[in-house]
Amino acid sequence: MEYLRAENAFTEAFMQPLEALQEAIYAEIRGRIKEDDNTVPEKEGDYYYYVRFEEGGQYPIYCRRQGSDDGQETVLLDVNQLAEGRDYTRVGAFRNSPDHKLAAYGVDFDGSEQYTIRLLDLETGQTLPDAIPGTYYSIEWANDNRTFYYSVLDEHQRPVTIYRHLLGTDPAQDALVYHEDDARFFVGLGKPKLTLVEPRAVDFEYDLADHGDRFFIRHNGDDARDFQLATAPISNPGRGNWTEFMAHEPGRPLLDLDAYRDHLVVACRQDGLPQVMIMRLSDNDVHYISGIEEEDFAMSPRGGREFDTTSLRFSYTSMKTPAAVYDYDMDARERVLRKQQEIPSGYDADRYDTRRIWATARDGTSVPISLLMLKGTPVDGSAPLYLYGYGSYGLTMEASFGITALSLVDRGFVFAIAHIRGGMEMGWDWYENGKLLKKRNTFHDFIDCAEHLVAQGYTSAGRIAAAGGSAGGMLMGAVVNERPDLFGCVVAHVPFVDVLNTMLDDSLPLTTMEYNEWGNPNDAEYYRYIRTYSPYDNVRRQAYPAMLVTGGISDPRVTYWEPAKWVAKLRDMRTDENPLLLKIHMDSGHAGASGRFERIKEVAEEYAFILNALGLAT
């Protein structure tokens, strides 16, 4: 702790001359937040549930209205009150009972992602005495309105057990429902009756949507790498009774599905862009939500609370278009805008330009890059550029609007997202070719994207600020070891940089299940391969760019000692005198600060560091 406090003091002293710049950036970003805001209410029975914020409030307030979405408001849970006197507060799951009389929620007060479940009487507003510590994100009510199910963390902080709780009883007596014995898997909760549909098998994945007397099943069997759809009777849902419903189409990954009474909604991607497919079940007529005019965007359906409806809610955004929520009539094929993100300080989308360009990686693969810039930004190599990347776990980095990015773009930056392999932007193969013994493709893609942006005149070597967090922090560590000359500075948030040592320690929360992502280094082949890129193990005696590295003292995903020991080794090995800063957040975990304004302070600090490193701190 003494060492970490010394590092924090060093960082604070370095950043002190930049306080005015940090405060200016903070004020800009906060000015773009509509502080008294709310989500669009979601209908369930006679109630409309939503979350809102009050002006000056750091935390959400859970509310509902009865009878209509403009009826009288009832506050269910004010997280600002829960957070009084605390440095960190986050509510995970919040679930109302089927009769709308009770709610269960999980709360974490230190960022460790260990939640304590509490119960609310929604008619009186009183908190019930039941309290269940050591839980994870999953909570589901039974139909008796007196019982709920929840997931519990084991001694290694893995969610592998499900229990059942009856209101008013001692949690120590809760019934064990399910325990996962295979350390490679976590377990979650859904509402259907606990039934084995099909036994697990290597490289086989499926999930279900309930549709009355049948399941719709999304699966990758029969070499359907980007998934196909089948149906099966709920009464006998095993794979022997699966009937093909929607064929596999390579390059069109089926990502998620929701079943309504008359329609099936499938989230998918085509040519790397998100699409919402809607099928009318009476005749299997398929259409897509249309009217998209931008060349790069993000769009997704938002699963509703009701089954018997023709209304689908979906969200749309792009890097220059503030997030919008629509209600879409699946029969009439018409949309109604329910809400669009407001920017109180003012915003004119016509001032900005978004582009989708393609870089050619060293093995010939075309890699998409999303760009945001002010119109008129010179494309002659003179502009600074912020390049973000992730590329792991099959997660897609969407080209969505962000109020923070504008503070760089308005200062002349090109803001870029490299959609590198290891994500799912271009389908399952895109993921498979960026994991295990092909993981180095992820790092090569990022470097090749940076070089392409230089070659096309969007920036120049040494004018790039590279940034990533968690597995994206590992990306930062790998690319800065390999090509430090490309980057003017690097920001690595909660970086997974001690890959080899972590994956050899199966007592850590994520190690065993992440053998599927990185490989098990107890196998010599994987040991040798991970050893070639693990950032901590490949720090070299060379010059490094300016670097800002963060961690969280309560982080269960990337333990704080990973960034700490990486920075220590960089200090020992580097041959440069560039700034090298470590900041360990002493009151939070993997996600950083819990309050919405405290998070802005962290971004303002990052951006001030970048502007200073690139000689633009004015």
246 and 304 in a common domain: no
Q: Is 220 in contact with 428 (CB distance < 8 Å)?
A: yes
Is residue 470 annotated as part of the catalytic site, yes or no? yes
Mean pLDDT computed over 457-479 = 98
Of 555, 585, 588, 594, the active-site residue reads: 555
Q: Is residue 515 part of a domain?
A: yes
- Local confidence band at 156 (pLDDT 50, 70, 90 cut-offs): confident
- Local confidence band at 513 (pLDDT 50, 70, 90 cut-offs): confident
List of E strands, 389-520: 414-418, 464-469, 487-493
From 342, 366, 385, give the residue that closes a domain. Answer: 342
334 and 282 in a common domain: yes
Res 157 pLDDT > 90: no
The pLDDT value recorded for residue 534 is: 98
Half-sphere exposure at residue 519, Cβ-oriented, CA atoms within 13 angstroms: 20
Mean pLDDT computed over 316-344 = 97
Q: Is residue 528 part of a domain?
A: yes
- Local confidence band at 292 (pLDDT 50, 70, 90 cut-offs): confident
DSSP per residue, 189-231: --SS-----S---TT--EEEEEETTEEEEEE--TT-TT-EEEE
pLDDT tens digits for 90-115?
Answer: 999 999 999 999 999 999 999 999 99
By residue range, what is the domain housing residue 276? Answer: 269-342
Total structural domains within the chain:
3
273 and 334 in a common domain: yes
Instruction: Give the Å distances, CA to CA, from 611 to 98, 120, 339, 464, 599.
Output: 52, 47, 34, 11, 19
The pLDDT value recorded for residue 262 is: 97
Mean pLDDT computed over 368-387 = 98
Residue with more model confidence, 507 or 438: 438
- Local confidence band at 538 (pLDDT 50, 70, 90 cut-offs): very high
Q: Is residue 409 part of a domain?
A: no
Of 258, 251, 304, 563, the closest CA to residue 430 belongs to 251
Q: Is residue 302 part of a domain?
A: yes
320 and 283 in a common domain: yes
pLDDT tens digits for 175-226?
Answer: 999 999 998 889 998 888 788 999 999 999 999 999 999 999 999 999 999 9
Token look-up 């506050």 returns 75
335 and 278 in a common domain: yes
From 342, 357, 373, give the residue that closes a domain. Answer: 342
323 and 280 in a common domain: yes
Of 165, 263, 452, 590, the active-site residue reads: 590
Q: Is residue 81 part of a domain?
A: no
246 and 273 in a common domain: no
From 491, 508, 534, give the residue that closes a domain. Answer: 534
Mean pLDDT computed over 152-162 = 91
Mean pLDDT of the chain: 96
Of 392, 470, 534, 554, the active-site residue reads: 470
Q: Is residue 517 part of a domain?
A: yes
Res 618 pLDDT > 80: no
Q: What are phi and psi of 390, to 5 degrees?
A: -135, -85
User: What single DSSP character describes residue 38?
Assistant: B
The pLDDT value recorded for residue 293 is: 87
Q: Is residue 138 part of a domain?
A: no
The pLDDT value recorded for residue 191 is: 82
Res 280 pLDDT > 80: yes
pLDDT tens digits for 57-101?
Answer: 999 999 999 999 899 999 999 999 999 999 999 999 999 999 999
Q: Is 146 in contact with 99 (CB distance < 8 Å)?
A: no
For CA atoms 390, 393, 399, 402, the dihedral sign is negative
DSSP per residue, 222-263: TT-TT-EEEEEETTS-SGGG-EEEE---TT--EEEEEE-SSE
273 and 338 in a common domain: yes
Half-sphere exposure at residue 217, Cβ-oriented, CA atoms within 13 angstroms: 24
% of the chain beyond a pLDDT of 70 = 100
pLDDT tens digits for 36-51?
Answer: 999 999 999 999 999 9
Q: Report d(CA 131, CA 151) in Å as an integer.
A: 14
pLDDT tens digits for 551-561?
Answer: 999 988 999 99
Q: Is residue 561 part of a domain?
A: no
Res 443 pLDDT > 90: yes
